[in-house]
A and B are shown apart, each in its own frame.
Chain A
Amino acid sequence: MADTLTAASARRNAAHGGTLVVTARRDVAQDVVELTLARPGGERLPDWAPGAHIDIVLPDGTTRQYSLLGDRWDAHSFTIAVLREREGRGGSEHIHTRLTAGDTVGFGGPRNNFRLSPAPGYLFVAGGIGITPLMPMVRQAELLGDPWRLLYLGRSRARLAYLDELAQYGERVTVHAADESGRAVIDDWMPDPAVPPVVYACGPERMLDAVDLWAAPLGRHRVRLERFTARGDADRPATVFEVEVASSGAVVTVQKDESIVDALRRVDVDVITSCAQGVCGTCETGVLRGVPDHRDALLSEAERAESRCLYPCISRAVSDRLVLDL
C-alpha cells in the first residue's frame, strides 16, 4: 500500500497549487506587462472561466489578484497583465522591475466573482487595465455568436493594451482616449432599451461608479462590476506553520512544499480529498483557531472573512498555528 500511496501523493502534489514559473514576459502597453505562467513541470493547471482571477504570491509574501485573460482551452498556461502602479503598495512594482522569465511565484485560485452569464447581448466597459477580465469575455461572446460591444476607455492609446487584437472586431469596439477626445461621456453609449444587454465593467472606481449610475435603469441584475479594491488583499507571508488536530491535540508542522493533508498523514490523520485543487469541496475541514490562507476556488469573500472552514488540500495558514476540527 505504501508505494501506491506515495505515488498517488506525488501525483497529487505534481498537480498541486503552489508554484508557477514565468515562461514569457512581454510589454503590451505603456506600463503594462503581460506574463505567461505555467507549472514548473508543465502539468495541467486548474480550470477557469472568463472573469476569474488568481492570487499571485510574491517572494516577500505580498499577495495580489490578477484576472486571467488567456485561452481556457490551453490548460497548461495562465496569462495575466499587470499595470505598474508607482503609487501602489509594491506588488506591481516588484513584478515590473524584478520578475523575469524563469522566476517563480506562488498562486491560489482561480476564483470567479465576475462570471459571464447568458444574455441576449453584452456591453463591456473597460477602463485601462480593466480590460483584462473582459478580454476572455469578448472572445467567449464571439464564440457563442452573442451580440456584444466594448467601450475601452483610457488616458491615451499608448496606455491601452491589446488594441491590436481588438482591432479585428471593427466597429464593435469603441476606443476612447482622453488625450484625443477629452473625457468620455458615458451616456453617449446608452444601450438600446429594446434589447437590454448585461453590462460588464471593470476599471477605476470613478468609472465604475459612473457606469453603475448610468446602467441602473437596466436593472440590478444587468450590471456587473469588478472592483479590484473589493478583493480584500491580505499580505500573507505563509511559509511553514503548525496544524493542531483538535480531537487528539497532535501537532504537525506543514512544510513549505507540502499540503496540510500531506502533513496530517504523518500523524496518521487521513483527510479524504478528491480534486486536490480546492475545487470540489470534499476535504472541507472546520477551523477552530488561527487564520487560514485560503487558496481554494470555493469560498465567497464573506466566507473567507469568516474562515470557519478551509480546504486543506490546497489552503495554508497566515497565523503560526491552525487548530482544525479533526
Chain B
Amino acid sequence: MSIVESPTTPDAASIDPFDLEFLRDPLPHHAALRDAGPVVRLEKYGVYAMARYDEVHAALVDWQSFQSAAGVGLSNFRHEKPWRPPSVLLEADPPRHDGPRAVVAPLLTTRRLRDLEQQWRADAATVVDAVLDRGEEFDAVTDLAEVFPLRVFPDAVGIGKEGRENLLPYGDFAFNAFGPPNELVTSAAPHMPPVTEWIGRQCLRENLTEDGFGAQIWAAADRGEISPEHAPMIVRSLLTAGVDTTVTGIAAIVHALAHTPGAVARLRRDRSLTRTAFEEAVRLTSPVQTFFRTATRDLQVGGVDIADGEKILMFLGSANRDPRRWEDPDTFDLDRDPSGHVAFGMGIHQCVGQHIARLEAICVLDALLDRIVDIEPAAPEQRHLNNTLVGWEHMPVRVHRG
C-alpha cells in the first residue's frame, strides 16, 4: 500500500484540516504539517497543531498540561456552550473523569469480553457467509464493515431493536461536531433532533436489557460508583463512540488486505499474525484522525509558546505515519511491531472500547480468512467525509475462494 505524494507542499500555517479537500486526502497535508515543525499554528482557526509522533504521544499522556474538559473539538468550552452536555468520559478531566472511567473500563476488558467472543465469532461467520453467498464481489463497507458492528454491538450494550439505523448518523454527526460548523455539520443538523432524542431514550434504564453493558453501568450507579445522572451519559458515550469507529476499523483491515498482495495468504499460513494485521491496519487508517486538547497553563513545546486556554489539534493519523517514528510508515507490514501507535489515543483517555474494536475486527478477519484465499479492489473506493473520522462510503472488493 502506498500513498500518492502531493506535487506541491502547501504552506502549513494555511492548512485547513476541516476543508473537504483536506478530508478527502489528508496524507500530503499531514506530511506538510510534520515537516513544518513540532508545533504549527493553524491561522484559519487560531489553534495549534501537533502532527509528529513524539509530541502527540507526549501531549496525549500529559493530561495535567493538556486538558480534555474544555472540549476535544474546536469549540472551547471555557468560552462556548457545547452543542450537547459534554461527555463525562471523553470531555472530562480528573477528578471528575475518575468515576465514569473506573466504571466503564472493567466492563470492557479482554477478560469480560471472552463471554461474548464465541457468539461474536458465530455472528461473524454468518455475516461473512451471507456476503460471500451473493457472489465474489461485494461492498466491504455497506455489506460487511457496517453490518457486523450493528449486529453485535447494540445487543452487547442492550438497546432495543427498533431504530438502530440512527446509530451511524448519530455517531457521524457527533464526530463531525468536533470540527467547525462547516457543511458536513450544517447539512446534517436539521435531521438530528429526532436522532438525538432516540439516542437519549436508549440510554434510560427501563429501555436497556438486563444483562448488557448499559444495565451494568446503571448497576454501578446503584452502588454509588457514579452518580445516577452520569449513567445515561456513559451509555450515550458507548453508543456514540462504539459504532462508526469500529466500522472503519473493520473496513481498514479489508482495505489493507485488498491493497497488499500476499497478505491474505500470509495470514492464512500464520494466524498468529491477525493481531498484528489489525494493529497495522488501524495504525495506517487511524479511524479517529484528530482530537483537540487545551493548554492548562502557559506551555512551551518544541520551542513554541502555547498560552493557557489555547487549543491544540492532535493529528493521531499523522503521528501514526510519522517517518521519525515508523520506518516505511505508509506500508502495511506484517513484520512490523505496531506497538505504541496512537490510533486509540494514549494515557487516561485512551479508547476505553479498544478491546471491543479488536475483538470485532478479529472475528471478521478470521471469518474471512477461513473462507477466502485472496481479496483485491474491484473498483476505486469512495471516501466518506467527516471532520474527525476517516472512512469509506463504499469499498468494492473481489474475493477469491479456495
A associates with B:
yes
Binding site for B on A (CB under 8 A): 1, 3-5, 8, 12, 44, 47, 49-50, 72-73, 75, 112, 115-119, 140, 143-144, 198, 221-222, 247, 265, 270, 272-276, 280-282, 284, 298, 303, 309
Q: Does B262 contact A (CB under 8 A)?
A: no
Q: Identify which of B5-13, B217-225, B385-393 touches chain A.
A: B217-225
Query: Measured between alpha carbons, how far is A247 from B272 in the docked complex, in Å?
Result: 10
Given contacts A47-B63, A221-B224, A222-B224, contact A274 B99 (CB under 8 A): no
Query: Measured between alpha carbons, how far is A19 from B276 in the docked complex, in Å?
Result: 30
Q: How far is the CB of A315 from chain B (nearest CB, A)?
A: 15
**Which residues of chain B are within 8 angstroms of A115 by Cβ–Cβ distance?**
98-99, 102, 225
> Which residue from B226, B338, B347 sits with its C-beta under 8 Å from A117?
B226
**Which residues of chain B are within 8 angstroms of A3 by Cβ–Cβ distance?**
327
- Residue in B95, B347, B355 whose Cβ sees the most chain A Cβ within 10 Å: B95
B224 touches A198 (CB 8 A): yes
Query: Measured between alpha carbons, how far is A42 from B348 in the docked complex, in Å?
Result: 20
Interface CB pairs A-B, < 8 A, 7: A44-B61, A47-B63, A49-B102, A270-B276, A272-B338, A272-B339, A274-B340
A75 touches B62 (CB 8 A): yes
B94 touches A12 (CB 8 A): no
**Which residues of chain B are within 8 angstroms of A280 by Cβ–Cβ distance?**
350, 354
Complex interface bits, B54-74 against A, C-beta within 8 A gives 1, otherwise 0 = 000000011110000000000
A281 touches B94 (CB 8 A): no
Given contacts A221-B224, A280-B354, A298-B109, contact A4 B327 (CB under 8 A): yes
Interface size class of B (residues with CB under 8 A): 35 or more
**Chain B residue with the shortest CB-CB distance to A279:** B350
Given contacts A44-B62, A140-B95, contact A118 B226 (CB under 8 A): yes
Q: How far is the CB of B336 from chain A (nearest CB, A)?
A: 7
A117 touches B224 (CB 8 A): yes
Q: How far is the CB of B219 from chain A (nearest CB, A)?
A: 11
Q: How far is the CB of B223 from chain A (nearest CB, A)?
A: 5
B347 touches A47 (CB 8 A): yes
**Chain A residue with the shortest CB-CB distance to B351:** A280
Complex interface bits, B347-360 against A, C-beta within 8 A gives 1, otherwise 0 = 11010001100000
B327 touches A49 (CB 8 A): no
**Chain B residue with the shortest CB-CB distance to A1:** B327
**Which residues of chain A are within 8 angstroms of B335 by Cβ–Cβ distance?**
1
Query: Measured between alpha carbons, how far is A107 from B44 in the docked complex, in Å?
Result: 47
**Which residues of chain A are within 8 angstroms of B327 by Cβ–Cβ distance?**
1, 3-4
B95 touches A272 (CB 8 A): no
**Which residues of chain B are within 8 angstroms of A272 by Cβ–Cβ distance?**
275-276, 279, 337-339
Q: Does B344 contact A (CB under 8 A)?
A: yes
Q: Does B209 contact A (CB under 8 A)?
A: no
**Chain A residue with the shortest CB-CB distance to B220:** A117
**Which residues of chain B are within 8 angstroms of A44 by Cβ–Cβ distance?**
61-62
Known: A1-B335, A140-B95, A303-B111. 9 other contacts (CB 8 A): A12-B339, A47-B347, A118-B226, A118-B227, A221-B222, A265-B337, A270-B276, A280-B354, A309-B111
**Chain A residue with the shortest CB-CB distance to B279:** A272
A1 touches B223 (CB 8 A): no
**Which residues of chain A are within 8 angstroms of B230 by Cβ–Cβ distance?**
118
**Which residues of chain B are within 8 angstroms of A112 by Cβ–Cβ distance?**
102
Q: Which of B81-129 contact A (CB under 8 A)?
A: 94-96, 98-99, 102, 109-111
**Which residues of chain A are within 8 angstroms of B341 by Cβ–Cβ distance?**
274
A144 touches B102 (CB 8 A): no
Given contacts A44-B62, A143-B95, A281-B109, contact A5 B226 (CB under 8 A): no
**Chain B residue with the shortest CB-CB distance to A8:** B340
Complex interface bits, B30-72 against A, C-beta within 8 A gives 1, otherwise 0 = 0000000000000000000000000000000111100000000
Query: Measured between alpha carbons, how far is A115 from B61 in the docked complex, in Å?
Result: 21
Given contacts A270-B276, A284-B110, contact A47 B340 (CB under 8 A): no
Q: Which of B320-349 contact A (CB under 8 A)?
A: 325-328, 335-341, 344, 346-348
A282 touches B354 (CB 8 A): yes
Q: How far is the CB of A38 from chain B (nearest CB, A)?
A: 16
Query: Measured between alpha carbons, how far is A112 from B105 in the docked complex, in Å?
Result: 13
**Which residues of chain B are within 8 angstroms of A49 by Cβ–Cβ distance?**
94-95, 98, 102
Q: How far is the CB of A262 from chain B (nearest CB, A)?
A: 11
Query: Measured between alpha carbons, how far is A272 from B338 in the docked complex, in Å?
Result: 7
**Which residues of chain B are within 8 angstroms of A274 by Cβ–Cβ distance?**
339-341, 344, 346, 350, 354
B111 touches A221 (CB 8 A): no
**Which residues of chain B are within 8 angstroms of A282 by Cβ–Cβ distance?**
354-355
**Which residues of chain B are within 8 angstroms of A298 by Cβ–Cβ distance?**
109
**Which residues of chain B are within 8 angstroms of A5 by Cβ–Cβ distance?**
337
Q: Which of B198-226 contact A (CB under 8 A)?
A: 222-226
B350 touches A221 (CB 8 A): no
**Which residues of chain B are within 8 angstroms of A276 by Cβ–Cβ distance?**
339-340
- Residue in A73, A280, A309 whose Cβ sees the most chain B Cβ within 10 Å: A280
A4 touches B325 (CB 8 A): yes
**Which residues of chain A are within 8 angstroms of B344 by Cβ–Cβ distance?**
274
**Chain B residue with the shortest CB-CB distance to A143:** B95
Query: Measured between alpha carbons, how far is A128 from B335 in the docked complex, in Å?
Result: 55
Q: How far is the CB of B99 from chain A (nearest CB, A)?
A: 5
Given contacts A272-B279, A274-B339, A274-B346, contact A119 B224 (CB under 8 A): yes
A73 touches B64 (CB 8 A): yes
Given contacts A1-B336, A47-B347, A49-B95, contact A8 B224 (CB under 8 A): no
**Which residues of chain B are within 8 angstroms of A73 by Cβ–Cβ distance?**
64
Q: How far is the CB of B106 from chain A (nearest CB, A)?
A: 8
Query: Measured between alpha carbons, how far is A8 from B339 in the docked complex, in Å?
Result: 9
Query: Measured between alpha carbons, how far is A200 from B348 in the docked complex, in Å?
Result: 25
Given contacts A8-B325, A75-B64, A272-B279, contact A281 B339 (CB under 8 A): no
**Which residues of chain B are within 8 angstroms of A221 by Cβ–Cβ distance?**
222-224
